[in-house]
């Protein structure tokens, strides 16, 4: 794991640097949509056949059938009005439409400083990157001068408790943990009381990874949520669902079921530096309209940034510069 320096990145430089890295890494395993569209248009006109091929490219990029059909309908109407003369015009239109879909989910996480603690419950399936996300978020919050506490609610894996402890040390955050096998509800309850007593600004509560189809484990999440509410009826103030972009359309199914079970208020979409085409972000935005709070690109603390609809649409369409 990286050495996390909470003061390492100047906030003014972060968005440009982060989305520059996103553009460089997204789709690096294959061609960008921009390259594919230019290839499709080489020596031909914008016609029905081209739109059929573009449909296949968008669905292949995990944009999803519904969102793809909406995008193409708008593009066909523009073509009929003779507004799409060449590849550049078509690419601009795709970016604009993607941005419009994503814009509804461009809502940064707002910490209410008057609540002590502001409670963030982090949930997701195994391997989605929950604990690393907590560490990166703690890094950002500490850089903003907030007092942060981490609650090791993933008591099923001793390694998860140890990993969270490492992040607590690196970010100079407080930690509440018990031994492996302890009741996660009890851990979170203790953390809530301790955070109140110690004037903590933000409590980040980890939970064990679970499949969205495991009903008994989803019930446990509901129990943890109820335990938090017993200490503070307004909490948790944020329920962050961490999704692995490499899961493609399965990530959308996860989001739907977690949201139905516990009421997700924000999303973190991770591992966009892998083989993910990235279009799943569009599919999720189109279907759920749940705020996308953060994107994650890798293990480094700086590979974590707030969601920007226009910047993401550009990165998704254009990919790495060639």
| Dihedral angle sign, alpha carbons of residues 31, 37, 43, 44 | positive
User: For residues 32 and 15, is the Cβ–Cβ distance under 8 A?
Assistant: no
DSSP 179: -
- How far are the Cα atoms of 51, 89, 110, 124 from residue 211, in angstroms, in the given order? 37, 42, 28, 8
DSSP 12: T
pLDDT bin (cut points 50, 70, 90) of residue 213 is low
Which residues share a beta bridge with 204?
120, 150
Percentage of the chain lying above the pLDDT 90 cut: 55
> What is the token pair recorded at 159?
């390694």
Is residue 29 over pLDDT 60?
Answer: no
Element (H, E) at 176: strand 174-176
What pLDDT is attached to residue 22? 83
What is the model's pTM?
0.88
Is residue 211 over pLDDT 50?
Answer: yes
User: For residues 88 and 174, is the Cβ–Cβ distance under 8 A?
Assistant: no
pLDDT bin (cut points 50, 70, 90) of residue 234 is very high
Is residue 298 over pLDDT 90?
Answer: no
User: For residues 62 and 276, is the Cβ–Cβ distance under 8 A?
Assistant: yes
Cα 199 from Cα 147, distance rounded (Å): 8
pLDDT tens string 171-206: 999 999 998 889 999 999 999 999 999 999 999 999
Phi, psi of 199 (to 5 degrees): 65, 40
Q: What are the structural domains, with CATH classification, of the chain? A: 24-103 (1.20.120.140), 118-307 (3.40.50.300)
Phi, psi of 225 (to 5 degrees): -60, -40
> What is the token pair recorded at 317?
């369409």
Q: Which residue has the tokens 């209410």?
A: 112
User: For residues 28 and 320, is the Cβ–Cβ distance under 8 A?
Assistant: yes
What pLDDT is attached to residue 321? 52
How much helix, strand and coil, in percent to the nearest 5, is found in the chain?
Answer: 50, 10, 40
Which residues share a beta bridge with 149?
174, 203
DSSP 208-266: ----TT-HHHHHHHHHHHHHHHHH-TT--SEEEEEEEGGGTHHHHHHHHHHHHHH---E
Is residue 1 over pLDDT 50?
Answer: no
- Which has more pLDDT, 41 or 247? 247
User: For residues 135 and 167, is the Cβ–Cβ distance under 8 A?
Assistant: yes
Is residue 10 over pLDDT 80?
Answer: no
Is residue 137 over pLDDT 80?
Answer: yes
pLDDT tens string 49-102: 889 988 998 888 888 899 999 999 999 999 999 899 888 888 899 999 999 999
Which residues share a beta bridge with 241?
123, 267
> What is the token pair recorded at 178?
């018990």
Cα 279 from Cα 64, distance rounded (Å): 8
How many C-beta atoms surround the C-beta of residue 183 within 10 A? 15
């Amino acid at each position: 794991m990286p050495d996390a320096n909470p003061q390492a990145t100047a906030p003014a430089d972060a968005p440009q640097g982060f989305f520059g890295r996103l553009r460089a890494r997204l789709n690096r395993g294959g061609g960008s949509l921009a390259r594919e569209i230019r290839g499709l248009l080489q020596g031909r006109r914008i016609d029905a056949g081209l739109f059929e091929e573009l449909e296949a490219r968008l669905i292949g990029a995990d944009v999803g059938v519904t969102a793809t059909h909406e995008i193409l309908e708008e593009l066909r109407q523009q073509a009929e009005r003779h507004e799409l003369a060449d590849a550049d015009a078509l690419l601009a239109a795709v970016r604009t439409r993607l941005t419009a879909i994503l814009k509804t989910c461009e809502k940064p996480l707002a910490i209410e400083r008057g609540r002590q603690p502001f409670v963030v419950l982090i949930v997701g399936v195994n391997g989605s990157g929950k604990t690393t996300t907590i560490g990166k978020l703690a890094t950002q919050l500490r850089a903003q001068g907030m007092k942060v506490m981490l609650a090791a609610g993933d008591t099923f894996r001793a390694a998860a408790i140890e990993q969270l402890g490492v992040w607590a040390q690196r970010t100079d955050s407080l930690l509440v943990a018990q031994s492996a096998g302890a009741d996660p509800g009890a851990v979170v309850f203790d953390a809530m009381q301790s955070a109140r007593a110690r004037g903590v600004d933000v409590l980040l509560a980890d939970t064990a990874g679970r499949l969205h189809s495991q009903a008994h484990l989803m019930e446990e999440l509901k129990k943890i949520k109820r335990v938090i509410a017993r200490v503070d009826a307004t909490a948790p103030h944020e329920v962050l669902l961490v999704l692995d972009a490499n899961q493609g359309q399965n990530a959308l199914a996860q989001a739907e079921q977690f949201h139905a079970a516990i009421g997700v208020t924000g999303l973190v979409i991770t591992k966009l530096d892998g083989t993910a085409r990235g279009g799943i972000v569009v599919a999720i935005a189109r279907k759920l309209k749940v705020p996308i709070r953060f994107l994650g690109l890798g293990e480094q603390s700086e590979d974590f940034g707030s969601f920007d609809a226009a910047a993401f649409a550009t990165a998704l369409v254009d990919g790495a510069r060639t």
